[in-house]
Chains A and B, each alone.
Chain A
Amino acid sequence: MLKNVSLKHNGKFLFKDISLPFKKGSWVSILGESGVGKSTLIRIIAGLDNFGHITGIVNNNFKVAWMGQEDLLYPWLNVLDNILLPITLKNKKPTTDEINKAKRLLNKVGIRNKLNQYPNQLSGGQKQRVALVRTLMIDADLILMDEPFSALDAMTKRDCQNLFYEMLTDKTVVMVTHDVMESTRLSDEVFVMIGEAPYLKKGVSLKQPAPRNFNSDETIQASKKLWQMLEKSYV
């Protein structure tokens, strides 16, 4: 969890007093306009960025997986080797169990036959699926996603959102996005990152099972509220 976390860099707050609970098995989205510092926030939770002056409590004393805006597959490795990276990057040899797990997960996301292909032979959606499987191989307590669908076209995006939700159903997820619809479609809770020295404001909680339809009453109400919060912050 995060408690009253602030980041000061060159005398300016990049964000201030941010608190965020990580509820087991829940999907939390952080919504905000581009450049507000959403990415920096989850990069700090992931232990990636280490600059400026951080105050407050960042409890990342558990296994964290991070997914970036691009798939970030290594182009010189085939699909299977990319998926086994969480093991091989620790200089361990993948066990038969781990290889079988990789194959099982690939099967589940529907690209079992791409095992020996290279990323440049895959479509955008397929690459994102491989990246998801690679993330799942980590067995993380917390999965951080930084606009994971932003590079995909509308239809592929929809498919991937459904698939991600299904695969991550029992995981704790924090997703950063600028897409209101995406946040209401997938999350249990949406926070909005706003302000001069940005902070997190609780937006909405959603109860219906996800992935939700964009035209259900609950998502329409939630979207309205989120839009209002975002628009207010512009003025």
Chain B
Amino acid sequence: MYNNMLKLVKIFWGILIFLIFWQGLVVFFKIPEFLLPSPILVGDVLVNKYSILFQDAKITGIEIILGMIFGSLLGIINGLLLQIFKSFRSVMLPMLVVSQAIPIYAIAPILVLWLGFDLAPKVVMSTIIIFFPVTTAFYDGLRQTKKGYLDIAKTMGANNITTLFKVRCRSALPALGSGLRVAAAFAPISAIVGEWVGASAGLGYRMLYSNARMQTDDMFGALVVLVVMSLFLYYFVDWLVRKTIHWDNDDLRKKC
């Protein structure tokens, strides 16, 4: 608890020093605000354009969350299928690699063309990006279940399905957790790129819109909101994973 407080204080000081440095830079070099708005100006945007930013954040947030949910579910199902069916494995594994070789940002315009300017193409983008790290992490975990755990299950007469769900899946949870963390870091990026390609609302749209009109302070405002949302998502997933996988906590702390 005390350590956590200390950590927070340190982070707070870090941010404060960064802001002062930024403000100093702008004032000292007389940087025009359309190039680099001062933190005070950005703060002003955050306060005064609160309702617009909130509307945009809501839309982007929904895209991110839906992408997280669908991507994770798809990744978990895919990982399970890879583990269960050998024939599926031989077809799917190369396809997975190929799918990652396609720059997803390049197919974003096609997705917009197919699915319109609304939520759908962004959620699909996030899903495509997220399901890969979740699949590989979970499948790795399932595959690398300690042999001794499987031996125990075998000598105790567990059948294949029981072994899969009660032994492999459980022992793969820490690996799945790592995959979900990576997914949480990717999710906001994919939603934003989706919005850049074609959208009429959302933080990504707001950034492009402001940028085009030299309203750089608005753009920074949207960026700050996005950063806060991303951090929140990451730490929420991290917390959830730790809470669920309490037996592996020492290990996780080292990874972070």
Contact = CB atoms under 8 A, between A and B. Distances in A.
A88 B247 contact: no
A90 B171 contact: no
Given A70-B148, A119-B247, 7 more contacts: A48-B151, A66-B151, A74-B149, A76-B247, A89-B157, A90-B157, A138-B156
Interface residues of B, number: 24
A47 B149 contact: no
Nearest to B250: A120
A131 to B, nearest CB: 9
A86 B155 CA distance: 9
B156 A89 contact: yes
What range describes how many residues of A lie at the interface?
20 to 34
Contacts of A75: 247-248
Given A89-B157, A138-B156, A74 B151 contact: no
Interface string A91-126: 100000000000000000000000000111000000
Interface stretch (B162-170, B220-228, B234-242): B162-170
Contacts of B152: 66, 68, 72, 74, 85
Nearest to B154: A48
Interface of B: 146, 148-149, 151-159, 162-163, 166-167, 170-171, 173, 245-248, 250
Contacts, number: 58
A5 B250 CA distance: 46
Nearest to A75: B247
A89 B149 CA distance: 12
Interface in A185-219: none
A20 interface: no
A76 B155 contact: no
B162 A89 contact: yes
A46 B158 CA distance: 14
A64 interface: yes
A91 B162 contact: yes
A115 to B, nearest CB: 16
A68 B151 contact: yes
Given A74-B149, A75-B248, A90 B158 contact: yes
Interface in A27-73: 43, 46-48, 64-66, 68, 70, 72
Contacts of A68: 148, 151-152
7 contacts: A68-B152, A72-B151, A72-B152, A89-B158, A89-B163, A89-B167, A138-B156
A72 B159 CA distance: 19
A48 B152 CA distance: 9
B149 A72 contact: yes
Interface of A: 43, 46-48, 64-66, 68, 70, 72, 74-76, 85-86, 88-91, 118-120, 138
A46 B155 contact: yes
A43 B148 CA distance: 11
B170 A76 contact: yes
A74 B148 contact: no
A76 B156 CA distance: 18
Nearest to A43: B151
Nearest to A144: B155
A66 B250 contact: no
Nearest to A90: B157
A47 B154 contact: yes
B250 to A, nearest CB: 7
Contact of A90 (B146, B156, B167): B156
A221 to B, nearest CB: 36
Given A68-B148, A70-B148, A76-B173, A89 B153 contact: yes
Given A68-B148, A120-B247, A120-B250, A74 B155 contact: no
Contacts of B155: 46-48, 64-66
A48 B156 CA distance: 11
Contacts of A43: 151
Nearest to B152: A72
Contacts of A91: 159, 162
A138 B246 CA distance: 28
